[in-house]
Amino acid sequence: MTAGSPPDDGLDVTAPETDARDRAQRWQDLLGLLGDRGRLSVAEAALALAVSEATIRRDFAALADQQLATRTHGGVVATGLAYDLPARYRGRSTPDRGPADRKERIAAAAAALLEPGTVVGFNGGTTTTATARRLAARPDLQRADPQRDPASPAITVVTNALNIATELVLRPQVRTVTLGGIARPGSYELVGPLAALVLEELWLDVLVLGVDGFDAVAGATCRHGGEAGIDAHMVRRAGRVVVVTGSEKLGRRTFARICPAAAVHTLVTDTDAPAERVAEIRAAGTTVQLV
């Protein structure tokens, strides 16, 4: 605080409205810090994110309102099991952190494509997890009042990924639907005939699909046959398919095919994507969004 400036009383009534995208990123960073530390003070968070303590107090109040954190005297503590996950699923990004930053850009762009009121499917993976978090943090969805009309949530998420379901179930504006099946420890994904039976009773407006490889000829692929089977079933039940993946996976062909490239309506990837690969994928009929 500079000489002659008024004390920070936590109200900050003269501050302009924070840009919604910056706020969503800040909340994600706060959740990442909580995942690492379990407890966070106002002063620690303000220092880590380089913002005012008044801003952090408002953020803490918003996270508590969404049951994503529990307020304490001077800070917050992590809520529930959403933080008991390996670091690769709950890591946060900061500017210029290479692949992590690219992944967050992809997630933000993909989340912006999803319309309120729709049914969105997610398979497992770190990029789909990041996209689900970005979606749930969107301010337009947080303004919904599920208590007023429980039958019309801001958005419905259908997923076979246990970690995604565990996080989103804490968001009152999101209706979370999980598939049955056998849980795979490596990916948290539910696979098997029970998951397929549940999918047969559901329709998805959009599927956000994470992959291990995407190629104009081989299509979308992954390393595990069981996951590929459920992912393929989700593709068939979806009106639109959005693949989210880093450029390093373009042109890669892995063990099991999920779907042909023509079944993918949009690919969201980063600007390091080779121009030749992008041209091939576009020629196959897929819209490519570079971020």
Mean pLDDT of the chain: 84
Task: Please name the residues in contact with 99: beta carbons below 8 A apart, sequence gap of 6 or more.
Answer: 246, 248
Question: Can you give the pLDDT at residue 127?
Answer: 95
Kindly state whether residues 265 and 172 are assigned to the same domain.
yes
Domain that holds residue 202: 91-290
**Among the listed ranges 68-72, 214-218, 234-238, which one has the minimum average pLDDT value?**
68-72
Kindly state whether residues 61 and 104 are assigned to the same domain.
no
pLDDT (tens digit per residue) in 42-87: 999 999 999 999 999 999 988 887 777 888 888 988 765 444 444 4
Kindly state whether residues 123 and 220 are assigned to the same domain.
yes
Residue at 120 is within a domain: yes
How many structural domains comprise the chain? 2
Question: Can you give the pLDDT at residue 36?
Answer: 67
Question: Can you give the pLDDT at residue 53?
Answer: 93
Q: How far apart are CA 83 and CA 163, in angstroms?
A: 9
Question: Can you give the pLDDT at residue 81?
Answer: 42
Residue at 4 is within a domain: no
Flag whether pLDDT at 152 surpasses 90: no
Question: Can you give the pLDDT at residue 288?
Answer: 98
**Among the listed ranges 17-26, 87-96, 197-206, 249-258, which one has the minimum average pLDDT value?**
87-96
Q: What CATH number corresponds to the domain at position 282?
A: 3.40.50.1360
Question: Among the three residues 83, 104, 134, which one is the final residue of a domain in this structure?
Answer: 83
pLDDT (tens digit per residue) in 14-41: 344 445 657 877 887 887 787 667 789 9
The three-state secondary structure class of 175 is: strand
Question: Can you give the pLDDT at residue 276?
Answer: 97
Q: Answer yes or no: pTM beyond 0.85.
A: no
Question: Can you give the pLDDT at residue 20?
Answer: 63
Kindly state whether residues 165 and 215 are assigned to the same domain.
yes
Kindly state whether residues 101 and 174 are assigned to the same domain.
yes
Question: Can you give the pLDDT at residue 235?
Answer: 98
Write 225-229 long-range contacts (CB < 8 A, 24+): 225/255, 225/256, 226/182, 226/184, 226/191, 226/192, 227/123, 227/124, 227/184, 227/187, 227/189, 227/191, 227/256, 228/255, 228/256, 228/257, 228/258, 229/191, 229/196, 229/256
Percentage above 70 pLDDT, the chain: 81
